[in-house]
Amino acid sequence: MDYKKTLNLPDTSFPMRGDLAKREPGWVQQWEENRVYQAIRAASKGRPRFILHDGPPYANGDIHIGHAVNKILKDIIVKSRNMAGFDAPYVPGWDCHGMPIEIQIEKKYGKNLPVTEVQSKARAYALEQLDRQRKDFKRLGVLGDWDNPYLTMNFSNEADEIRVLARILEKGYVFRGLKPVNWCFDCGSALAEAEVEYADRVDPAVDVAFPFIDKPGLARAFGLDSVEDGAIVIWTTTPWTIPSNQALNVHPEIEYALVRVSPTPVHGPLILIAKERVEACLQSWGLEGEIIATTQGEALSGLRFAHPLAKAAEGYDRSSPIYLGDYVTLDAGTGVVHSAPAYGIEDFVSCKAHGLADADILSPVMGDGKYVSTLPLFGGLSIWDANPKIVEALKLAGSLMHVQKLSHSYMHCWRHKTPVIYRATSQWFAGMDVTPVDSAPPLREAALAGIEAPAFSPAWGRARLHAMIANRPDWTLSRQRQWGVPMAFFVHKETGELHPRTVELLEEVAKRVEKHGIEAWQALDPRELLGDEADNYEKNRDTLDVWFDSGSTHATVLGGKNHALAGSHGEQLAWPADLYLEGSDQHRGWFHSSLLTGCMLYGQPPYKGLLTHGFVVDGQGRKMSKSVGNVIAPQKVSDSLGAEILRLWVASTDYSGELSISDEILKRVVEGYRRIRNTLRFLLANVADFDGVSQAVPFGDLLEIDRYALVMTAQMQAEVLGNYERYDFHPAVSRLQTFCSEDLGAFY
């Protein structure tokens, strides 16, 4: 006799092993074949909408673990909102224009290709890249409208972006001007604030003497009958800017001292620096001295001093006036700042405020980082190669007080990892402090007010975004590239003014781009739109900053306020979005650019809530790096353990800070998964022969322990729903695992 058949054993077809790596691809295929996403959309029709707008990843390279975290979090939120009774579509997107793709085309096909060829090859490359990324995102179990994503290079998006440009131009935000912008020599273009990162760099820090010229004026400033020869001294970590010096800055309220020093320097026995810096500077220079007079910085305004290279070359025989500046500090240097308006924002603003015309600003550094050939002593050199030569020239001219190597945090291009400079170029800007023509508040004021409305999680995001908006310069909209949405302006050849019908002309260009893409602007003969006027105008060659591409998708994809722009997905989506969810670096990126375009177009942010997650680090808290060998690829985890393990890791980690991952951490996640799976299997096996219709027992007739278990389950469910409402997933996972192991496994 088979005694096994006499026992009422638990029974279930639910397998003990998940076998996720093998079975998951089949599930993904089934979801596609059965059009599960579309079925959810149909079932959700008519419910209240919940719109999570996807911040577009860049269509270049395979996805990494950070991409996986971002997409999994979005998927958890969208699915849970659908389960909570909302119509929550998910339209994924991609950022397709810009420098990285253009660089790939240059690497593959060489430089100096015709623009039309660059654009066609870049478009094909972006499609190829996003297909690879889309496959990996699907493998992570992310449901969405994958057959109809939004792409910033869709013809309709490109056309609508030109319409957005027309709108903000019409409102008075856009202007052209000479200004120092972040400039990368490798990109050969201006950079957005979000494209700049900081890294340590060693540079020569120099103290440089500017000899006295107006000694009678200096004597009056210090209340003396006369003064001897001497020099005012500055400190800088950028000797390459000295050839472009055009002014000196002192703080009006800082006390400055005339110091007689010994041994006597080449320029004379007197030194002029901030009184508070005298002791430290003399010690650094190896000099002794005594203060003979002091005065407030305000008394020095307008006094002139000789250029420190005047004795080295005739081309530097000029003087620099003193301008007052509140930004001068005493935490380092001499309390005197040298001003090269072409290569510093504060320098530029100060010199312009004191009447320096654009045409008079000295800007000898070319776009490739080399000085123009006509610059005395250093023409043709790269600025970095010129640094030591400038130091040597200052020494020979008797103007070098001190030099030392200094390691300091310096701006670098986030793509090339090479140093970036401020460089004055003629660019198109969106003015942060310009009053628009409709007398609405200036952009900075509107954006700062707009930050108060959305819900921020974590809460510190509000202060971070506020500080970035409060202190940022005007937005440089223009880029000197080929693969990007054109700033489709017609500019007068002589005056540089825009055509008086620019807004109307932009709409005509947008109609052409809607049919043929940005290539239509390249092919356009100005006579088609301007007629006989075409001889007086030229097509602007600049493209829009890619942050403007992604930052305007709330209009070009969601459709904008009152669906002012139809948007390619306008029918499914709504403006403003309920949620933007990205990494914490996007306070200076997509959150930032979206806020600015939203406020320019509609006077308010395009999102009701901002949720940020941290970066992924290894088990020791180190940044993921190929050179360190600690990179964990999401594809590898999916192929070995299963994407569900990656999803459970994301859900069980406090993503508000750094997310730690390692093989050991993933092993623990696997154990947690097994606990949940085994609990489910046990429960299913126990009710295998249960008929809920005929065998269910009324709650009041259940055993006390069964009633207690049901109450525990209801409490756990209520807690978990609250966690999901607040996007707090790791407490939900923790509660579920405790419920399985202790409440059910150990007790019930």
Q: What is the pLDDT of residues 431-465, one digit of tens each?
A: 999 999 988 899 999 999 999 999 999 999 999 99
| Mean pLDDT, residues 237-249 | 95
Tokens of 345: 């924002």
Angle at alpha carbon of residue 131, lines to 128 and 133, rounded to 5°: 110
pLDDT, tens digit, 9 for 90 and up, residues 33-66: 999 999 999 999 999 999 999 999 999 989 999 9
Beta bridge mates, 203: 406
**DSSP-H helix ranges across 287-382:** 345-353
Q: Decide if pLDDT at 430 tops 90.
A: yes
Residue whose entry in the numeric block shows the structure tokens 């008394």: 299
Q: What is the C-alpha to C-alpha distance for residues 316 and 379, in angstroms, rounded to an integer?
A: 13
In whole angstroms, what is the distance from residue 601 CA to residue 740 CA?
A: 51
pLDDT over 90 at 483, yes or no? yes
Collapse the DSSP code of 250 into the 3-class scheme (helix H, G, I; strand E, B; otherwise coil) and give the result: strand
Are 244 and 340 in contact by the 8 Å Cβ rule? The answer is: yes
| Residue type at 190 in one-letter notation | A
Q: What Cα–Cα distance (Å) separates residue 630 from each residue in 623, 660, 662, 669, 734?
A: 8, 11, 8, 18, 27
Whether the full predicted model's pTM is greater than 0.85, yes or no, is no
Distance CA 363, CA 341 (A): 8
Task: Spell out where 431-528 has E strands.
Answer: 455-457, 475-476, 478-479, 490-492
Residues 216, 336 contacting (CB under 8 angstroms): no
pLDDT exceeds cutoff 70 at 287: yes
Segment 559-571 mean pLDDT: 77
pLDDT at 358: 85
Number of Cβ atoms within 10 Å of the Cβ of 480: 16
Tally the C-alpha atoms within 13 A of residue 59's C-alpha that lie toward its C-beta: 28
Dihedral of the alpha carbons of 420, 426, 431, 434, in degrees to the nearest 10: 140
Q: CA dihedral in degrees (176, 181, 184, 190; nearest 10)?
A: -30
Phi and psi, residue 633, nearest 5°: -85, 135
Q: Chain-centre distance of CA 364, in angstroms?
A: 29
CA distance 339 to 276: 21
| Token pair 């006077």: residue | 603
| 8-state DSSP, 111 | S
Burial 603-631 (b: 16+ CB within 10 A, else e): bbbbbebbbbbbebbbeeeeebeeeeebe
Angle formed by the axes of helices 115-139 and 99-109, nearest 10°: 110
**pLDDT at residue 258 tops 90:** yes
Output the average pLDDT for the chain. Answer: 92
- Res 370 pLDDT > 80: yes
Model pLDDT, residue 7? 85
Q: What element of type H or E holds 438?
A: none
Of 159-168, 270-279, 415-424, give the lowest mean pLDDT range.
415-424
Q: In angstroms, rounded to a whole number, what is the distance separating the alpha carbons of residues 250 and 299?
A: 10
* Tokens (6 digits) for 67: 């991409």
Contact call for residues 115 and 482 (beta carbons, < 8 A):
yes
Helix/strand/coil for 262: strand
Residues with Cβ < 8 Å from 113, sequence gap 6 or more? Answer: 105, 106, 121
User: For residue 566, what pLDDT band results from cuts at 50, 70 and 90?
Assistant: low
- Average pLDDT in the 683-701 region? 92
Q: Which DSSP letter does residue 422 get?
A: E
Bridge partners (DSSP) of residue 272 are: 232, 258
Residue 134 clears pLDDT 70, i.e. is over it: yes
pLDDT reading at 191 higher than 90: no
At residue 510, what are phi and psi to the nearest 5 degrees? -60, -40
Q: How confident is the model at residue 481 (pLDDT cuts 50, 70, 90)?
A: confident
How does residue 515 score in pLDDT terms, banded at 50, 70 and 90? Answer: very high
Q: Identify the three-state secondary structure at position 518.
A: coil
Alpha-carbon distance of 88 to 154, in angstroms, equals 23
Least confident residue range of 231-235, 571-575, 610-614: 571-575
Does residue 543 contact residue 160 with C-beta atoms inside 8 Å?
no
Dihedral through CA 625, CA 628, CA 634, CA 636, nearest 10?
Answer: 150
Instruction: Compute the 3-state secondary structure of the chain and give helix, strand, coil in percent, each to the nearest 5.
Output: 45, 20, 35
The pLDDT score that the predictor gives to residue 738 is 95
Sign of CA dihedral 306, 307, 311, 316: negative
Per residue in 624-673, pLDDT tens?
A: 777 777 888 999 999 999 999 999 999 999 999 999 999 999 999 999 99
Q: Say which residue, 619 or 694, is predicted with more confidence.
A: 694
How much of the chain, in percent, has pLDDT values that exceed 70?
99
Q: What is the mean pLDDT of residues 550-572?
A: 85
